[in-house]
Amino acid sequence: MAELDAESSLGVLVEFDAGLGRCGLPPGPALVELAQKIEKMPRLLFEGLMSFFGNVWGPEEERKKSVKQVAERVEISLEAFRKARMPVKIVSGGSTPSAAFAHEIPGLTEIRPGTYVFNDLNTFYQGACKIEDCAVRVVTRVVSNAVSGRAMVDAGSKALSSDCLLSGPKTGHGLVTENPDIRLIGLSEEHGHLDVTNVARKLRVGDVLSIIPNHVCTCVNMHDDVFLLRNGEVVGSWRIAARGKIR
């Protein structure tokens, strides 16, 4: 094994900023300079470029406009490597909101959408999926109806995460699928606060509700297991492998 490791090499992608302003070098010569430094290092191979298109967000027309800006930054990056006569084998980028327009970004060799696996309210309100495409439901029970116009469920920020709705109406903490007139207006650690003033039938303690989360990525990380349902029956489960792995 030691002999095999001594002969191995590691492919490296250089990250560039596609417009989000979070991570990565600006498109252009700085990318080439870093790639050249990587090529000079033992057992490292420059393989290409990567970025996250998190700046592609919102209604379809806004996302299309942002994709054009991303395409320009990709082209600037690739042109710098063409001038330096350095091949770029991989150009990796993307996100779920930008996935439908990835073909409009010349040079892209792979896309990395993540949220699409389950989808969520943020994806739905951008028009990137249908509500029936949102696969995750957090199942919860009503634990109190003591306050007029309000009800409490046992799913709070520890079950749904506290992430806000950043698309569409930009209010609320999840969608109660049984009745859209029930509004999830607040979260504490173990409780969800429901506004039921416009609900015809009063919720009873013990009623079971299912909530589509605003942001499924953080929501899934709050749980140990995902249970798989088909036609209303549990047919299996997945262990959340990365749960609790932050040190």
- CATH class, domain 2-113, is alpha beta
Residue 195 has pLDDT above 50, yes or no: yes
* pLDDT band for position 1 (cuts 50, 70, 90): very low
> φ and ψ at 6, to 5 degrees?
-65, -25
Contacts of residue 80, Cβ cutoff 8 Å, sequence gap at least 6: 27, 28, 29, 31, 32
Expressed in percent and rounded to 5, the helix, strand and coil fractions of the chain are 30, 25, 45
* Region for residue 29 given its phi and psi (left: phi exceeds 0; alpha: psi -120 to 50; beta: otherwise): alpha
Task: Quote the tokens at residue 140.
Answer: 């919860």
* pLDDT band for position 8 (cuts 50, 70, 90): confident
What residue spans define the domains of the chain?
A: 2-113, 122-239
Burial of 203 (0-12, 13-18, 19+ CB in 10 A): buried
* pLDDT band for position 246 (cuts 50, 70, 90): confident
**Mean pLDDT for the chain overall:** 95
Mean pLDDT of all residues in 82-98: 97
Share of the chain above pLDDT 90, in %: 94
Distance CA 80, CA 78 (A): 5
Residue 4 has pLDDT above 80, yes or no: no
CATH code for the part of the protein at 122-239: 2.40.37.20
pLDDT tens for each residue of 125-171: 999 999 999 999 999 999 999 999 999 999 999 999 999 999 999 99
Mean pLDDT of all residues in 113-124: 97
Q: What is the CA radius of gyration of the chain?
A: 23
State residue 50's pLDDT score. 98
Mean pLDDT of all residues in 78-107: 97
Residue 223 has pLDDT above 50, yes or no: yes
State residue 3's pLDDT score. 53
State residue 247's pLDDT score. 80
Residue 209 has pLDDT above 90, yes or no: yes
